[in-house]
Chains A and B, each alone.
Chain A
Amino acid sequence: MKNNISAWELKQIEAKPQTLKSKLFDWLVSFMPILMALLVLLQYKLVPNKKVLISFKVYEPTNLYAWFIGVFLAAFAGLFIASLFSKKVFGKWRNAAPLLTAVFLLLLAYDFATLKARLLHATYFPAIDDILNALIAERAQLWINSRHSLILLFTGYFSGVIAGLFCGILSGYIKKVRYWVMPLIKVLGPIPANTWLPIILVLPFISLFQGAVFIIALGVWYPVTMTTMNGVINIPMHNYEAAKTFGVGKLSMIYKVAIPASSPFIFQGLTQGMSIACTVLLIAEMMGVEAGVGWYINWQRGYADFAKVYAAIVILCVTFFAVNTMLNAIKNRVLRWQEDKV
């Protein structure tokens, strides 16, 4: 036997031999997504739609959803065929198959409950076809508003992060600073940042945008300050002492030792801060700021155009997911020196 086998090969060697029954089961499971997607497509095209009596903001179904499902169907079929030839593809596909089956089962049920049987209120629960059409029809609006939201989010987030790092590092490192910052944290910290919205948004000397930036920054400032301060306080003394013997001064100690050593804690604050920033952003946009995805949702709700509301929510999901994935990627890169990631 050769010595340099990969971990994957090892797994193959040590795996229990499969019985015919378990093999059949695996193939069946990996075929299920295709079957389910096909069912969704067939139901959509063949089962007649139920007419609604009051059709306020209820649209005629188009072929867009059929194409949408069709693309997935084709992709699933392709992967299924590929998994016949490659064991690696099969492993991944077999793993994803149950989840995909469940998702398409949900779609099947949703289509039935909306278009086909009208069990749900047609205005509040639009067909997925409507949402897809809204995404395309409203793309300009959605683009402008998500851009506004992102600019607001990041301006607020980074202002909060900078303020939080500044307060956290200094109050962790210097006792006298902690004396002054701690009471502020204790009083302001537990109050959700958006509590201040009604006050900030009516202040005459700042714009709505600046006000919202301030509120988001305040929400981010708190967790970043707390985690950073705790991180700096809990650095093992030996780190400072070793650096001291090399003649590192009190000021350069901050960026040479205090910041890198507490970076796992800092990233905890950055992650918490991001989820708070997203929440506060939406609240701010729904309460006063006159642009952004939150504002758009409120606006379309006013017209009871729920397909557009859902379209905006889809955009929000995608955006926040992307932002958090990015943050995580940065975190994993910076903290690659860590044994157990916090």
Chain B
Amino acid sequence: MSVKIESLTKIFAKQIEEGTLTALDNINLEIKDGEFVSLLGASGCGKSTLLRIIAGLEIPTQGAALFNGERIEGTSPKRGLVFQEHTLFAWLTVRQNIEFAAKATKRLNSRTEISNWLEVAGLTEFADNYPHQLSGGMRQRAALVRALAVSPEVLLLDEPLGALDSFTRMHLQDELIRLWKGRGNTMVMVTHDIDEAIYLSQRIVVMSPRPGRIAKILEVRMSYPRNRAVGDFTALRTQILKLMDFAQDVQEEYTI
């Protein structure tokens, strides 16, 4: 498995006025098999667009996105996708959601296999509940497991934890690592949370907005599970903040 982005540019037509908007400008990126990569940046940096192009939901204007050496055309179960919201089908129970994915991809997941997935998500008790009866964290766990149940080679996560409170979020970050370690999928995650990117990923693609460009690709060389309080972690955070123009040298003012 490999994802390769070659001098990719994406231009959108503006909805209201005539004119266009360059969302991604000359992006080059290679994601290796089994890697956990984060696309990090402020809103408008095109990180979600890049993810959607890899998923096959958007077509690049110029350049190419390759998956296993082939140009990406349309969606594929090999590239699973989890969104921030509306991830589950509201009219199906948790179990039915997983079954939907299994049936649609023509994988004959047995009942026990689906029960196993429910157990992985810790949702065995809630299997026959509808999404609105679950908490936000439970919904995202179910969505993750639904995407994983069809054994994708790469899992694309579009701010999957963005709508959750910070405690649920930290809890699910650990779950994500556990799932990734356990199955060895390639993970590509879009996030605007610097700590989340550092905590989870092996490489962080820091992007800058208008037009969306890759500012820098950083390697995170800490072993899992990571500690949010150690010096390496905070040093990396400071480095990223500087890259994103948020960490001006502090001008301390003294008043007497």
Interface residues of A (CB under 8 A from B): 236, 238-239, 241-248, 256-257, 260-261, 263, 336-339
B91 touches A260 (CB 8 A): yes
Tell me, yes or no, whether B104 is within 8 Å of chain A by CB: yes
B130 nearest CB across to chain A (Å): 4
Given A239-B86, A256-B100, verify A245-B91 contact (CB < 8 Å): no
A246 touches B91 (CB 8 A): no
Task: Give the residue of A239, A247, A260 whose beta carbon is less than 8 angstroms from that of B77.
Answer: A247
> Which residues of chain B come closer than 8 Å to A245, judged between CB atoms?
55-56, 75-77, 79-81, 147
A337 touches B75 (CB 8 A): no
Q: Which 5 A-B pairs give the minimum distances between C-beta atoms?
A: A246-B104, A339-B132, A238-B86, A260-B91, A337-B130
B105 touches A247 (CB 8 A): yes
A238 touches B80 (CB 8 A): no
Tell me, yes or no, whether B101 is within 8 Å of chain A by CB: yes
Given A238-B83, A247-B104, verify A261-B57 contact (CB < 8 Å): no
Instruction: List 8 other contacts, CB 8 Å, given A242-B89, A337-B91, A337-B132.
Output: A241-B57, A245-B76, A245-B77, A245-B147, A248-B104, A260-B92, A337-B90, A339-B132
Residue of B nearest to A238 (CB): B86
B191 nearest CB across to chain A (Å): 18
B105 touches A246 (CB 8 A): yes
**In the bound complex, CA of A282 to CA of B227 (Å):** 75
B77 nearest CB across to chain A (Å): 5
**In the bound complex, CA of A17 to CA of B87 (Å):** 49
A260 nearest CB across to chain B (Å): 4
B78 nearest CB across to chain A (Å): 9
Residue of B nearest to A260 (CB): B91
Tell me, yes or no, whether B150 is within 8 Å of chain A by CB: yes
Task: Give the residue of B75, B87, B89, B91 whose beta carbon is less than 8 angstroms from that of A244.
Answer: B75
> Which residues of chain A come closer than 8 Å to B56, judged between CB atoms?
244-245
Quick one: which of A263, A336, A337 has the most chain B CB within 10 A? A337
**In the bound complex, CA of A243 to CA of B103 (Å):** 11
> Which residues of chain B come closer than 8 Å to A260, judged between CB atoms?
89, 91-92
A242 touches B87 (CB 8 A): yes
B100 touches A263 (CB 8 A): no
Tell me, yes or no, whether B6 is within 8 Å of chain A by CB: no
B58 nearest CB across to chain A (Å): 10
> Which residues of chain B come closer than 8 Å to A239, judged between CB atoms?
86, 89
Range for the number of chain B residues in contact with chain A: 20 to 34
Residue of B nearest to A236 (CB): B86
> Which residues of chain A come closer than 8 Å to B33, judged between CB atoms?
none
A-B contacts, 23 of them at CB < 8 A, read A236-B86, A238-B87, A241-B57, A242-B86, A242-B87, A243-B100, A243-B104, A244-B56, A244-B74, A245-B80, A246-B77, A246-B100, A247-B76, A247-B104, A247-B106, A248-B104, A256-B100, A256-B104, A261-B91, A337-B90, A337-B93, A337-B130, A337-B131
> Which residues of chain B come closer than 8 Å to A243, judged between CB atoms?
89, 100, 104
Tell me, yes or no, whether B85 is within 8 Å of chain A by CB: yes
**In the bound complex, CA of A263 to CA of B80 (Å):** 27
**In the bound complex, CA of A38 to CA of B74 (Å):** 77
**In the bound complex, CA of A239 to CA of B132 (Å):** 15
> Which residues of chain B come closer than 8 Å to A242, judged between CB atoms?
81, 83, 86-87, 89
**In the bound complex, CA of A261 to CA of B90 (Å):** 8
> Which residues of chain B come closer than 8 Å to A247, judged between CB atoms?
75-77, 104-106
Given A246-B150, A261-B89, A261-B90, verify A241-B104 contact (CB < 8 Å): no
B143 nearest CB across to chain A (Å): 8
A265 nearest CB across to chain B (Å): 13
**In the bound complex, CA of A260 to CA of B77 (Å):** 22
**In the bound complex, CA of A244 to CA of B150 (Å):** 13
**In the bound complex, CA of A74 to CA of B170 (Å):** 65
Residue of A nearest to B57 (CB): A241
A263 touches B91 (CB 8 A): yes
Instruction: Annotate B94-132 by CB proximity to A: 1 below 8 A, 0 otherwise.
Output: 000000110011100000000000000000000000111
**In the bound complex, CA of A291 to CA of B100 (Å):** 49
> Which residues of chain B come closer than 8 Å to A236, judged between CB atoms?
86
**In the bound complex, CA of A155 to CA of B90 (Å):** 33
Residue of A nearest to B90 (CB): A337
> Which residues of chain A come closer than 8 Å to B100, judged between CB atoms?
243, 246, 256
> Which residues of chain A come closer than 8 Å to B93, judged between CB atoms?
337
> Which residues of chain A come closer than 8 Å to B150, judged between CB atoms?
246
**In the bound complex, CA of A278 to CA of B150 (Å):** 49
Quick one: which of A236, A246, A248, A338 has the most chain B CB within 10 A? A246
A238 touches B85 (CB 8 A): yes
> Which residues of chain A come closer than 8 Å to B131, judged between CB atoms?
337
> Which residues of chain A come closer than 8 Å to B81, judged between CB atoms?
241-242, 245
**In the bound complex, CA of A246 to CA of B80 (Å):** 8
Instruction: Annotate B53-84 by CB proximity to A: 1 below 8 A, 0 otherwise.
Output: 00111000000000000000011110111010
> Which residues of chain A come closer than 8 Å to B92, judged between CB atoms?
260, 337
> Which residues of chain A come closer than 8 Å to B76, judged between CB atoms?
245, 247
A336 nearest CB across to chain B (Å): 8
**In the bound complex, CA of A339 to CA of B80 (Å):** 27
